[in-house]
Amino acid sequence: MNDAIRKVVMPKWGLSMTSGKVTEWIASEGDEIADGDDLAEIDTDKIAGALESADEGVLRRIIAQVGEDVPVGATLALIAPADVPDAELDEAALLAREELDSGAVAEVAGPVTGSVEVEGRTICFAALGEGEETVVLVHGYGGDKNSWLFVQEPLSQSHTVYALDLPGHGESTKDVGDGSLDVLAGAVLGLLAERGIERAHLVGHSLGGAVVVAAAAREPARVASLTLVAPAGFGSRINAGYLRGFAEARSRRELKPHLAALFADPGQVTRQLADDLMRYKRLDGVDKALGALLGTLLDGDEPALDVAPLLSEVDVPVAVVWGRRDAVLPATNGEGLDDVEYVEQAGHMVHLEQPNAVVAAVNAVTNRR
Amino acid sequence: MTDTLSTAVSHELDGNALLDAYRTMRTIRAFEERVHAEFATGEIPGFVHLYAGEEASATGVCVHLDDRDAIASTHRGHGHCIAKGVDVKAMMAEIYGRRTGSCHGKGGSMHIADLSKGMLGANGIVGGGPPLICGTALAAKQKGTGGVGVAFFGDGASNQGTTLEALNLASVWQLPAIFVAENNGYAEATSSTWSVAADNIADRAAGFGMPGVIVDGFDFFAVHEAAAEAIQRAREGGGPTLIEVKFTRYFGHFEGDQQTYRADEVANAREHLDCLKRFRTRVTETGQVEAAQLDAVDAQVTDLIDAAVEEAKAAPKPTAADLETDVYIEY
Amino acid sequence: MARTISYREALNEALAQEMERDESVIVLGEDNAGGAGSPGEDDAWGGVLGVTKGLYHRFPGRVLDTPISESAFVGAAIGAATSGLRPVAELMFIDFMGVCFDQIFNQAAKFRYMFGGKAKTPVVIRTMYGAGLRAAAQHSQALYPIFTHIPGLKVVVPSSPYEAKGLMIQSIRDDDPVIFCEHKAMYDVTGEVPEDSYTIPFGEAGVVRDGDDVTIVAIGRMVSVAEEAAKQLADSGVEAEIIDPRTTSPLDTETILESVENTGRLVVVDEATPRCNLATDISALVAKEAFGSLRAPIEMVTAPHTPVPFSDALEDLYIPDAQRVANAVKTVVEWKR
C-alpha cells in the first residue's frame, strides 16, 4: 500500500477495551483533516469519546459504518493527500473491508501494565509508547490510571507515557497512611526511581495536580515540566459537597447525581461511569482511603491545600489547563497562576471532555526548554 | 486458652445455692399457676403450654450453667427461661402481648428468648432446638470458651429427625452438648409409652455413641447430679450426653386441654412426688436450710408474680409502627 | 488487579479472603473438605464441585465435613451464628431444602422478629440450583422463589464471577441470614474479577446492558441468556435494557420501575417454574406501580410447570433459551392494541 495512505484505526481506550462502534462520523469523505481534528464519535461498552486524527490530509474513504462493531486496531477510515489516485484508495479500502469482515485483525499493542513497590505499597501503572522522554499522568481524587485514556494514547506517539494509580486508588494498595500530599508525591517519585526514570514530565489532574507540584518541590531534579489540569491547592474555592458526596455515596443511585458536578455536559455522566466508580468504591480499604484524603483536601468546607508556595520554589516549565465550567475546583482558582489556558466547553474533567486541549498543553510544555 | 477456663462443676450445694435453686423452682411454679389462673379469665391470648411439675429439670440443669452456655427450649419453655435467668416481669408482659415484653410482644409464650442470657428461645417447632444447640456448642468449641449447649426437648421431639440428626452430629463432632429429654408422658395427647418405640429415650444414646442417663424428674438432686456429670464431661472435651428426665406435667398440653386421655397421675404426683415438697423436706431435714427461709422465698416470689401480672396488664401493646420492624438488621 | 477467573474460583477466593480477614468465619457441609475419617486424602473433594477446595489445609479446623444430615448441620450453622461465629454452610443442592427447611424458615428467618429484634444470625447457606446438567428432577430445580417468599431471609442469585465474589463477601459480612444460590452450570463461566476484596450491596440491581426499547429482567444464569437474545435483537434494531436484580430479597424495585418507565415494555426471564416465581412477582410489581408506562402486556419466559426432566431432548426444552427470550421481546415490541 502506498505509504501516503494512512489508516485510521479503532483506538484502544483502556485496558479492557476490545472493540467499539462508530456512533457518528463527524468528518465526511472529502474533508480536509488536520492533526487533532475530531473524526468520529466512538462508543465502547465503557465509554464514549471522540476519535482524533493523528494525521493530516483528506478523509478519502470511510470503511466502518455507523453502528458496526469494530475490533481494536481495525481500520475505520483512510486518510491520504488529495493527489493519491482513487484506484489506490479503492484497493486499500477493499483490503481493509475484507480484513474487517474476516475478523482477522491484529490486536494493537495497548498499554503495558506493571507495578512497583514504594514504601511498602504496591503502585500500579500502565505504560504506553517508546519516546525518549517520559510523561507521567497523575489522576485526581477517586480517579485512576484509566481516566487518561483519551490522553495517554495521543501522547504516546512522541513520549513514553506512564499513567499510575495513586495509593488508595485503582489497583494500587489502598492504604494511604495519613493521606498527606507527601505520601502521594512519594508514590510518584518512587515510581520514577523504581522504573529508572531519571527525569519526567509530570501531568496532574485535580488532587494529582497538587501531588505533582509537591513531587517537583521535593525532588526538582527529577522533574522536567509540570502540566496542571484543574489542580487542587490553588485559590480559595472547592466544592466540598461534591467531595463528601463522592466519598459517602453507597450506591449508584446516590453517587450519580454528584457526578454531574464533574462535567460541563451532565450527559457525560453515564450509568456505566457510576457503576465503574462504585466498583472502585466497594473495594476494601477504599472508604478509609477516601476519608483520609478528604481530610487532605478539605478544612471544613474550605480547601485545606495550598501548594502555590511549593510551586514558586520549582524552576521548570509549567502549563495550566482549566475548564471554564469547572464546578469542583472553579476556574477562578487559577487567577493567581501565570498563563492558564482556559477551556471553554469543559468542566472539571478536562482530560475526558476536551482531551486535545490537555494533549496540546503537554506537548507544548515538554517542548519548552 | 481452654486450660485457663473453669471446667469445674459443683456437685455440692451450700445453703445459699440451695435457696437459689428453691427460689427458681418456686418462681416457675408460681408463674405457671398464675398464668393458668389468668388464662382462664380470657385475658391471655394464644397458646400457652405450662411447665408446672417439671421445675426440677430446668433448675437442676441450669444451676450449673453460666454466661458461656446456651440453652434451647421447647414450646413448654417458661421454666427454662426462668432457670436461665430471663427477666420474669418481661416474660409475663410478653405472654400478655405487651410492648414491654421480652420480645416486645412479637414472640409470645412460645418464643420467649434472651440471647444475652444464652437463652436461644422457646420454640414452637417440636425438635427445632437440638440442631441449633449443636451450633452453639460448636461455637463454644471453636472459640475455646469451655461453654456448653443444652437442648431441652420433649418425648415428642425425641422422635423427630432433627433431634436424632443432632444427636449423631454432636457425637461425630464431639461437641460440648447435653441433650435433656423431658419425658412428661405425653406428646400432646399421645402417650410416650406408645410413641417412643424404645423402652426409654435414653436407650437411644447407645446408638449415637454417647452416654444415656435416666433420672427421676421430680427429684432436683437427681437431675442436679446427672447434669453435673454430663456438663463437666462436656466442658472437658468429653463430648455429648443424653439425659432422660421422667416426670409428668401438672396441666394439660396447652391451656384448655380437657386431658380426657389421662388417668389420675397428676393428683398422685402433686401429693407424693412434687419436686418442691421433696426439696423442702430434704433440705430442712438435713438442717441445711430453715423452713422459715423457704417460707420467706415463697412470699417474695408471690409478690414478684403479683407485680409481674399487674405491670403486664398495665403495659402498652405494640403499635402499628412495630409491625414491620425487626425483620432484618438491614434490608 | 483484575484478572479473568471462573465463577468457582471467584467463590473460593471470596471464602478464603473472608476466612483470612475474620477468624469467626467457618465453612461446613457435606464433603466441603471430603475424606473425613477415610484412609485416603484429606480435602479429597473440596465440595462436590470443588468450590471449597484448598480451604481445609489453609484454615486448619475451620472447614468442617458433616454427615449427610442437613437438618443437623444447617441447624448447627444457624445456632453457631447466634453464638458469635459466621458460618458458611453448604446445602449441596437447593433441592435438599426439603430435609432441612424448618431450620431455615422457622428458625433462622424468624429469630430476629419473634425475639423482638434481639437476635443476630449471620449465617450464609450456599446452595446450587438450576438445570442443564442432566441431573433430573431432584438435583436441578431453581427454588430461590421459595426462599424469597420468607420474610427474614435474604436471597442472592449472582450472574457472573464478579458478582459471585462481591456478593459472597457481602453475604458473609451481612448480619442477617443469607441464602446464596449458585447456578451449577456456571462454575466454569469466566469473567474479570478484582484480586482485592470488595462487596456488592444487596438490593442494588445491575444494569447489564442499556437500551430504550424493552426492559428484560433476568435472574441468575438467565442474565447471560438475555444477553445472547439482546445481541440478536440489536441486529434487528431492537435495543434491550437488561436488568440483573442480583438479590431477589431484597429486590431493587426502583431500578426495574425506572427502566420500564423508560422503555414501556417488560420481559421477565426466570428459570423457576411459573407459579409464584420471580417472573410473576416482578410482573405484578410493574403492573401495579408502572401500569401507566406499559405499552404492551408483560411477557414472562420461565420453565414450564413441570418437574425438571432428565433426557436432554426434554431438558433443553425446559430451560428458557435466547430464542424464547427474543420471541417474547418481539411479541411485546410488535404488540398493537
> Distances from the Cα of A67 to the Cαs of A20, A52, B250, C95, in angstroms?
9, 18, 83, 45
Tell me if residue A253 falls in helix, strand or coil: helix
| Closest-approach residue (CA) in chain C for B323 | C113
> Distances from the Cα of B230 to the Cαs of B66, B149, B233, B273, C222, in angstroms?
15, 11, 5, 25, 53
The reply to whether C268 and C295 lie within a common domain is yes
pLDDT at position A11: 83
pLDDT per residue as tens digits for the range A293-307: 999 999 999 999 999
Strand order, beta sheet including C206-209: C206-209, C240-244, C214-218, C266-270, C299-302
Alpha-carbon span B181 to B179, nearest angstrom: 6
Residue among B111, B132, B329 minimizing CB distance to C79: B132
pLDDT per residue as tens digits for the range A171-229: 999 999 999 999 999 999 999 999 999 999 999 999 999 999 999 999 999 999 999 99
The reply to whether C242 and C181 lie within a common domain is no
Domain A6-102, architecture per CATH: Beta Barrel (2.40)
CB of C72 within 8 Å of a chain B CB? The answer is: yes
> Distances from the Cα of B224 to the Cαs of A7, B10, C185, in angstroms?
92, 9, 55
% residues pLDDT > 90 (chain B): 95
* Domain coverage including residue C95: 3-193
**What average pLDDT score do residues B96-103 get?**
97
Alpha-carbon span C1 to A173, nearest angstrom: 10
Nearest 5°: the CA angle A139, A141, A145 is 30
Q: State the smallest CA–CA distance between residue C200 and chain A in angstroms.
A: 7
Q: State the smallest CA–CA distance between residue C69 and chain B in angstroms.
A: 6
* Domain coverage including residue B149: 21-312
Locate A131 and state its grid cell.
Answer: 519516546
Identify the active-site residue in C57, C139, C149, C183: C139
Average pLDDT, chain A: 92
The domain boundary, picked from C193, C219, C248, lies at C193
pLDDT at position A100: 84
**Segment holding C128, helix H or strand E:** strand C124-129
Given an 8 Å threshold on Cβ–Cβ distance, is C166 in contact with A282?
A: yes
Average pLDDT, chain B: 95
CB of C197 within 8 Å of a chain A CB? The answer is: yes
Residue among B103, B116, B325 minimizing CB distance to C114: B103
| Higher-scoring residue by pLDDT: A41, B26 | B26
pLDDT per residue as tens digits for the range A234-252: 999 999 999 999 999 999 9
Alpha-carbon span C268 to C323, nearest angstrom: 14
Whether A320 has a pLDDT exceeding 60, the answer reads: yes
**What average pLDDT score do residues C281-296 get?**
98
Residue at B172 is within a domain = yes
**What average pLDDT score do residues A40-67 get?**
85
Alpha-carbon span A151 to A139, nearest angstrom: 12
Interface test with C, best of B102, B136, B160, B175 (most C CBs within 10 A): B136
pLDDT per residue as tens digits for the range A77-125: 999 999 999 999 999 999 888 888 887 776 667 789 999 999 999 999 9
Give the pLDDT band of residue B4 (cuts 50, 70, 90).
very low
Chains that touch B (3 or more CB pairs under 8 A): C
CB A125 within 8 A of CB A113: yes
Q: Where are the domains of chain A?
A: 6-102, 112-367
pLDDT per residue as tens digits for the range B235-272: 999 999 999 999 999 999 999 999 999 988 999 999 99
For the domain that residue C74 is a member of, what is the CATH number? 3.40.50.970
Residue whose C-alpha cell reads 408463674 in the numeric block: B31
For the domain that residue B190 is a member of, what is the CATH number? 3.40.50.970
Interface test with C, best of B47, B110, B145, B327 (most C CBs within 10 A): B327
Nearest-CA neighbor of C192 among A18, A249, A147, A128?
A: A18
Tell me if residue C131 falls in helix, strand or coil: coil
Interface test with C, best of A15, A252, A271, A281 (most C CBs within 10 A): A252
Chain B residues with beta carbon closer than 8 angstroms to that of C176: 328-331
CB interface of C with B, residues 276-335, below 8 Å: none
pLDDT per residue as tens digits for the range B126-182: 999 999 999 999 999 999 999 999 999 999 999 999 999 999 999 999 999 999 999
Alpha-carbon span A359 to A67, nearest angstrom: 28
Q: Tell me the residue length of chain B.
A: 331
Given an 8 Å threshold on Cβ–Cβ distance, is C194 in contact with A283?
A: yes
Alpha-carbon span B268 to B263, nearest angstrom: 10
Whether B3 has a pLDDT exceeding 50, the answer reads: no
Residue among C198, C204, C255 minimizing CB distance to A283: C198
CB interface of B with C, residues 268-327, below 8 Å: 325-327
Tell me the ipTM for this assembly. Answer: 0.93
Alpha-carbon span C176 to C119, nearest angstrom: 9
CB interface of C with B, residues 258-277, below 8 Å: none
The reply to whether C252 and C300 lie within a common domain is yes
Give the pLDDT band of residue A17 (cuts 50, 70, 90).
confident
Alpha-carbon span B7 to B141, nearest angstrom: 13
The reply to whether C18 and C151 lie within a common domain is yes
CB of C201 within 8 Å of a chain A CB? The answer is: yes
Other C-beta atoms within 10 Å of C309: how many? 18
Chain C residues with beta carbon closer than 8 angstroms to that of A272: 210
Residue at B1 is within a domain = no
Given an 8 Å threshold on Cβ–Cβ distance, is A251 in contact with C201?
A: yes
Nearest-CA neighbor of A212 among A196, A197, A223?
A: A223
CB B55 within 8 A of CB B23: no
The reply to whether C322 and C265 lie within a common domain is yes
Residue among B72, B115, B168 minimizing CB distance to C67: B168
**What average pLDDT score do residues B295-305 get?**
98
Alpha-carbon span C179 to C104, nearest angstrom: 9
Query: Which residues, listed in sequence order, are joined to residue B181 by a DSSP beta bridge?
Result: B153, B244
CB of C53 within 8 Å of a chain B CB? The answer is: no
Give the pLDDT band of residue C1 (cuts 50, 70, 90).
low
pLDDT per residue as tens digits for the range C220-276: 999 999 999 999 999 999 999 999 999 999 999 999 999 999 999 999 999 999 999
Given an 8 Å threshold on Cβ–Cβ distance, is B106 in contact with C114?
A: yes
A321: phi then psi, degrees, rounded to nearest 5: -125, 135
* CATH number for the domain running over A112-367: 3.40.50.1820
Give the pLDDT band of residue A53 (cuts 50, 70, 90).
confident
Given an 8 Å threshold on Cβ–Cβ distance, is A251 in contact with C207?
A: no
Contacts for A333 with CB less than 8 Å, ≥ 6 apart: A234, A235, A236, A237, A322
Contacts A–C by Cβ distance under 8 A: 37
Please state the domain count of chain C.
2
Given an 8 Å threshold on Cβ–Cβ distance, is C207 in contact with A271?
A: yes
Alpha-carbon span A292 to C245, nearest angstrom: 33
CB of A171 within 8 Å of a chain C CB? The answer is: yes
CB of B42 within 8 Å of a chain C CB? The answer is: no
Given an 8 Å threshold on Cβ–Cβ distance, is A282 in contact with C198?
A: yes
The reply to whether C58 and C141 lie within a common domain is yes
The reply to whether C212 and C109 lie within a common domain is no
Chain B residues with beta carbon closer than 8 angstroms to that of C69: 165, 168-169
Q: Does chain C reach chain B with at least 3 CB pairs under 8 Å? A: yes
**What average pLDDT score do residues B110-114 get?**
96
The reply to whether C26 and C171 lie within a common domain is yes
Chain B residues with beta carbon closer than 8 angstroms to that of C199: none
Could you give the residue ranges of the DSSP H alpha helices within C50-160?
A: 55-58, 70-81, 101, 111-114, 144-148
The reply to whether C78 and C214 lie within a common domain is no
The reply to whether C131 and C8 lie within a common domain is yes
**What average pLDDT score do residues C118-138 get?**
97
Cis peptide before C250 (omega within 30 of 0): yes
pLDDT at position A3: 82
Pairing verdict, β B212-216 and B241-246: parallel
**Residues of A86-107 as b/e, b for ≥16 C-beta within 10 angstroms?**
eebbeebbeebeebbeeeebee
Whether A151 has a pLDDT exceeding 60, the answer reads: yes
CB of B162 within 8 Å of a chain C CB? The answer is: yes
Q: Does chain C reach chain A with at least 3 CB pairs under 8 Å? A: yes
Chain centroid to Cα B322, Å, comes to 29
Alpha-carbon span A103 to A91, nearest angstrom: 18
B290: phi then psi, degrees, rounded to nearest 5: -85, 145
Residue whose C-alpha cell reads 438488621 in the numeric block: B329
Residue at B318 is within a domain = no
Pairing verdict, β B70-72 and B149-154: parallel
Tell me if residue C270 falls in helix, strand or coil: strand
Q: What is the DSSP letter of A236?
A: S
Residue whose C-alpha cell reads 525518549 in the numeric block: A132
CB A168 within 8 A of CB A286: yes
Q: Does chain B reach chain A with at least 3 CB pairs under 8 Å? A: no
Whether A15 has a pLDDT exceeding 70, the answer reads: no
Please state the domain count of chain B.
1
CB of B124 within 8 Å of a chain C CB? The answer is: yes
Give the pLDDT band of residue A49 (cuts 50, 70, 90).
confident
Chain C residues with beta carbon closer than 8 angstroms to that of B116: 118
Q: State the smallest CA–CA distance between residue C258 and chain A in angstroms.
A: 11
Whether B2 has a pLDDT exceeding 50, the answer reads: no
pLDDT at position B26: 98
Residue type, A189: L
Alpha-carbon span C113 to B120, nearest angstrom: 13
Is C139 one of the catalytic residues? Answer: yes
